[in-house]
Every structure is written in structure tokens, then in C-alpha cells.
Structure 1
Amino acid sequence: MVSSLHRNPPFRAEHLGSLLRTDSLLKKRAEVDEGRVSRSKLTAIEDEDIQEIVRLQKELGYSAITDGEYRRHMFWGSFFPDLKGFVEIKEPDVEIFRPYMPDIAAFIESNYKPGESVICVGKIRHVGSTYVDQFKFLASLVTPGEIKNIKLTLAAPNWYHMRYKEGRAYPGDVYASDDEYFADIAKAYQAELRILYYAGCRNVQFDDPNFAYFCSEKMIAGWKTDPLNKCSVDDLLDKYIRLYNDCLAERPFDLHVGIHVCRGNFVNSRHFSEGGYDRIAMKLFQHLNIDTYYLEYDTPRAGGFEPLAYLPKHKNVILGVVTSKFPEIEDKEVMKKRVMAAIEFIAKGNQETAEESSKRVGVSPQCGFASHSSGNSVTRDDMIAKLKLVREIADEIWPGEP
């Protein structure tokens, strides 16, 4: 399936959605959670801080502007909790999770109990968008011509499936199989995307740590030794790709869709999974009906650029060569050389020139700066310095492009 992009070439400099919150925003959210102040008090601060972060993004030269995910506690937001058939559970029993999933393994190792999760308890149905008001407010802060570029981040449709032990993702008397469960998940996303599109949204990005888990040898070994699992790792990857494609089956031709394959953020900027994209590259790039891939390439744990040879000519890749986890500033010249090296692999795989391949490439930080509201181990000044560096790398490789 050849996608029709609403923007081609891609934006040369992007960021991955979440940005550091102010202390006042974090404090007010805590007060709301504790029941000490009304939600309206928090909304007022969110509005103010979003206006400021939009101003900053414009000042730094970014076109795919986000609201920093300031209305969310975690990167996935409120989509699943507000679907009929799902409930949010506080301090879930760790026994319901697959212990070899990289994020769960990190929690267990750190003696950290997940604060919340969302689980299916009945038939799934979309009953209203919780994202659309976030989009509308963001759209009100840019010019009419910029609305098509602003970016809304979405929860991965497989997020509340892979982490649960076999038989725990949904009740067996509600759904007889993964196929039935996924069919209703897909319908819910189709409804959400339809609402967002009619509101003017033309640019969405799925944030998906699970695809990176398929690159983890530890996860794969755990999966193979788990007697409860009914399918192979490769079959599960195929299921998730079909799920995404079903979620996007009704999208309009001018709705741009990206996916960030994330290795996770945890306390003290800890990552979750390791492993190169080699195991999943062909299926990820050629079978998944996505326009742009946002890939983490800030450390050796992501492997080499060789898998990019599978990227088709009609798709884009944004290379996350600058880390968002730590304050140390990368050497700009080294980063530019890495980007050019990646382009060479894309060109070789497509039997085209590096100049041709370069048209479908951009740069970004490897992840957001605050996948969880408390943020990574960087300050606001560090974040700004990183965003400036990304913009400078892009400007020097692709002069004059957005």
C-alpha cells in the first residue's frame, strides 16, 4: 500500500511530543490528584504553559508543534481509560503482567510497583474523544495554515495487550480470541481518527514501545519459555501489524501517520529494551501502513543503520540521534556524519542516490523529554539546548527546509 503523504519531504527537524513540565504545573496536578483543588485550577495552568511551549517551539523553528503532552500524566493519555469496556486500576498486582516484558522487568528489578494500568472488562466501544479538545486548543494557538502541521500523539493500540499474561488482557467470556478483541480496538481507533480529522487534524504519531520489545533478546527468550503463550513471537508481531493496519483502514488520504518506536523512559532516564531493528525491519517498514518512522538511534543499544535498507521509497524516517535522557550535548559534526551514514544505507536498499534518499529523512531527539510527567534527567535549559542542536543539524544538512 502506497501512502499519500500530506507532506513530502518530511520536516527536517522534529521532536517526539512530550516536553518538560513547569514546577507549577506538576505541583497543581499533584494537588488535583490529592483532591485539594478543583480541576479548573489545573486547566488554567495547562492552558498557560501550552501557550508558552508553543511559542518556544516556534521560536526554535519547529513546524510539527505539539502541546508538550501537558494535559497528560503519561504519554498514552486518556484514550483507553475512556473507552467503554476498559477500567483503570490503581496499583495493579504485578502477577497479571508478563514478567519478561522489558518495562515490567525493570519495575520488578527496581522494586517499583506500577502505579496504574488499564484493563478490559467488557465489550469495547468508542463513546467520545478525549483527544479532540487537546487538538482544538493547540490549533487555536497557530495560524490556519499551520494547523495541518501540528502533531497529536496517540497511544499504541497494542499497549494494553502485550504486557498482560496470556488470558489476562480481556475476559474470555467477552472475547473468544485476540482477533475479536483487536477488531473492536481497531473500530475504536477508526472512530477516534475520524473525529480528529473532522476537527482539522492532519498529523498524528503513535508512540509504541512494544515494537522495540521485539528487538530484545531477553524478551524473546522469556516469551519462548512461557508455557501460557499460544503463538510465536513472530506471529504476535504479525498480529500487531495487522491491528495497526486495521486501525488505519479508513483514514483519509491526507492524514499523515507516524510511529515512534520507543525503548522507554523510567526513573532517572532509564531505558527498558535493547536490541537493533534487524529482527523487525522488513515487516515494520514494508508491511506496516505508516508514513513516517521515528527511530531511536542515540546509543549502540539501537544497533546499526543497516536495517534502514528496507525502508521503501514512499516512506520517511526521522533519525533520533540526539538523546533526550541526559544533558550532555552531542558533537554536531559527529551527528551529521551519522545521519549521512544512515542515508547511504537507505540509498543502497532502494538502488537510488543518497541525494534522493535524503529527501525522506529528518532528525529528532531519540524520545520525548517527559514520557512520564516528572520528566527525564534534564533541565529546561538542557531541553532547549538539545532542541537547538537538532534544528542546527537539520539546517546544515538541509539548508532552508522546515
Structure 2
Amino acid sequence: MLMANKLPLKGDHVGSLLRTEPIKQARAAFAKEEIDKATLKEVEDREIEKLVQKQIEVGLKTITDGEFRRIIWHHDFFSGFEGIEMIKNERKATFGGGNKPKPITIVITGKIKNHDHYMIEHFKFLKKAVDKYGDGTQVAKFAIPAPSVIMYRSFNEREKEIYPNPVDMFHDLGVAYREVVKALYEAGCRYIQFDDTTFTAFNDQTFTKRMMESTGLSKEEILDLMIKTTNDVLQVKPEDLIITVHMCRGNFRSKHLHANGGYDYVAPIFDQLHYDAFFLEYDDERSGDFEPLKHINRRDVEIVLGLITSKFPELEESFAIKERMIEASQFIPLENLAISPQCGFASSEEGNVLTEEEQWNKIKHMLQIAESVFGKVAANK
């Protein structure tokens, strides 16, 4: 099988991790203009180095920077392109329990272009730390939003003037993404994870209606455009670069936003998306059963089951998780399966409602289950 020889996906994680107290304090001080950007970076650098060491200590083979330098998983990245800015703006999105994220969003202010995206430096620092503290068996993994996430919002009238035809907007975005992927590869990156909140939302009528009103396109036209743009980016990746996708259903302060229901609608298109692995959320009943996985016919791809919740501290029963993996193997061969938490522990800097110790216990628990299902060697390949 292709993936088993390339990266340690049998026991993986989605990437974002709870911000440490020094990070929280420094970012709060920076927001109040009590410290400058250089001082903030010093704290971030120091805490990311500690985080890298902690991930290695607990047994992870894919190492991230926890997204410690970001306010939220996607806005910071998109604002690194020319023609996209992050602004203060009250967001309409309300997660379960009435939780509302910070009042920030992104807006398109001009033609979208890439010019020395600042997050390339973030990856370089991560890789240097992994090389320094690892033993050569770890890989630096960098998570960025998928191109289609640009649709995870409403377009204003000014943006429609800049891009009267959404096809042109996606074309420019695809070009910018290809340049970022190339730059990450040249910086030594061999594992990129795209995070995508749009494909899983196509069974949400409110979401799809908003996309249709913003673009003037039908649901099917939007889906086709998202698939094409994604594959245009993926087709240029080198043979030894892995690009996976986390099909996210929303995650903020241990609450979800959308996408109740199974993968019935989107699973049939997974074979059309040229990713190397799909991270799917399966930590509760709202994700449905495993039957939609029968539509995935590729055997050069891994399906990473998010059976461990990142929302709550309680550890899942190992036996129950193994039983669910056996159940999933009725539709996908066990050798094509892997396990992870269903989402990151901190999609935004606020983080989910559990402690750092509870977070690491979750990750260690997940790795132990992976080893018991796949064996020590396979789980660490």
C-alpha cells in the first residue's frame, strides 16, 4: 500500500493544540500593545520548541507547531495572500451553547496573489525544531485551510465587483496555493494537511443557500469548482510530498457549528479528490455510520477515523474504539484505516474545554489504541 511506506498515519493528530499559559499571556499583552511583535515571537518560538519536544515525548511521529502563532485556523493563513485582509467584524456564526468566536473575518480587497507567504517562515522554524529534537523518525507537518474554505463566509458587494465571476476568483486562489505548496516543499516540507469545512457542509441547506447567493452558481456548479480547484493544486505536488485533508465539521470551545448527518453526500466524491488521506470526524452519532465509506474505491489512500474526541477529557473505552474500527473495516480494508482525534484541540486560540494534561492523555490513549490495532511497527511507520 502506498501510504504505509510514506508517513506515520496509523496514529496521527489533526494539528492544533491547546495554547500554553505563556502563549496566552503574551498574545493578550500584544493585543493590548504592552509588548511588541518581536517579544511575542520570542515567546512563540520558545513555546513551540517545548511543544515539539512534548509531542516527541508522548510518541507522536507527525509533529506540528500547534498553530500557536494563529488566532484561528484559517483567517491567519488567508490574510497572508495579497488581496485578502483580516478585519474586525462581528461574525454571524454561533456554535452550540451560544458560543461565538472572536469578531474577525477575512475580506477580498483585490486580486488574489501569493507573494512570499509569511507562514513559510513558520514552517521553517518548526522543521528546524523537529530536526533538532527528533531522532529522524518524526516528520514536520504543516496544516493550512483548503482552497474551498474561501467559501466558508458570505461575499460582500465590493468583493463581487472584484470578482464578478467566481471561477476567476478560484483560478487566482489556485495559482496562489500552488505557489505556497511549492514554497513549503522547497523549505523541506513533506507533509501538508488541508483543513476543509465546506465539503461536509453540503448537506446543510442554510450553508449551501448562502454559497449559491454569494456566487450565483448552483450547488452542483460550486461543488465542481471546488473539486477542480483542489485537484489543480494537488496535481503539481512532487511524488514525495503527502497532502491530506481533514474534513472538519466545525470546532470551537468544544462545540460544533454545522454538518449534522453522515457522509452520504460527500463520500462518493472522495475518489475524485486527489488527496493521500482523509481525516473524518466520527466521535459522536451526528457523523452517522460507516456505510458511506463503501463509496471509496481507491486503495492508495488512507481513511483516518476521528474516533477520539478532542472536545471532552474523558477517555474512550479502548475496546469500544477497536470494535468501531473493525466495523469500519467492513467497508474499507483495515490496512487502509488509521486513527486520530476527530479535530484539533484548539481550532482557535481559545481552545477546547479541557486541560493540557487531559489533551496529552487523549493523544497517548489514541496512540496506544493504534499500536494495539496495527502493531507497534505499523503504528509508528
TM-score (norm 2): 0.91
1:158: how far off? Answer: 2.1
CA contact (8 A) 2:18 2:349 kept: yes
For structure 1, which segment, 50-59 or 330-339, has the greater mean C-alpha deviation from structure 2 after superposition?
Answer: 50-59
1:135 corresponds in structure 2 to 123
Residue by residue, what CA displacement relative to the aligned partner does 1:167-209 show, whole Å, maximum 9, x if unpaired? 648232x323111110100010011011111111010001111
How many residues align? The count is 374
Matches within 5 A, 1:285-364: 285-311=270-296, 312-346=298-332, 357-364=333-340
Judged with a 3 Å threshold, the aligned counterparts in structure 2 of structure 1 residues 290 and 148 are, in CA distance, closer, same or farther, namely farther
Q: Does 1:209 align with 2:192?
A: no
Task: Tell me: CA distance 1:4–1:243, structure 2 relative to 1, closer, same or farther (3 Å).
Answer: farther
Deviation at 1:9, TM superposition (A): 6.9
After superposition, where does 1:100-249 map in structure 2 within 5 Å?
A: 104-106=92-94, 110=98, 112=100, 115-143=103-131, 146=136, 149-165=139-155, 168=157, 170-172=159-161, 174-216=162-204, 219-220=207-208, 222=209, 230-249=216-235
1:81-122 residue CA offsets vs partner (Å, 9 max, x unmatched): 121111222125x5xxxxxxxxx4426993847511111121
Q: Which residue is 1:350 aligned to?
A: none
Give 1:97's aligned residue.
Answer: none
Letter in 1 for 2:28: A
Go from structure 1 to structure 2 and tell me whether the alpha carbon gap of 1:228 and 1:60 turns closer, same or farther (over 3 Å shift).
closer
Give the counterpart letter for 1:211 in structure 2: F
Backbone CA RMSD of aligned residues: 2.5
Distance of 2:78 and 2:280 partners within structure 1? 24
Q: Work out which of the residue numbers 43, 48, 55 in structure 2 matches 1:50.
A: 48
Partner of 2:352: 376
- 2:69 — aligned with what? 71
Q: TM-score, structure 1 length as denominator?
A: 0.86
CA contact (8 A) 1:147 1:200 kept: no
Structure 1 letter corresponding to 2:141: K
In 1: Cα distance, 2:215 partner to 2:179 partner? 31
CA contact (8 A) 2:249 2:281 kept: yes
Superimposed CA distance per residue, residues 13-65 of structure 1 (whole angstroms, 9 cap, x where no aligned partner): 11100011111211110111111111122212211211111111111111111
CA contact 1:10–1:316 (8 Å) conserved in 2: no
Q: Give the direction of change, closer, same or farther, for the CA distance of 1:325–1:137 in structure 2 (3 Å limit).
A: same
Output the amino acid matched with 2:343: C
1:391 is matched with 367
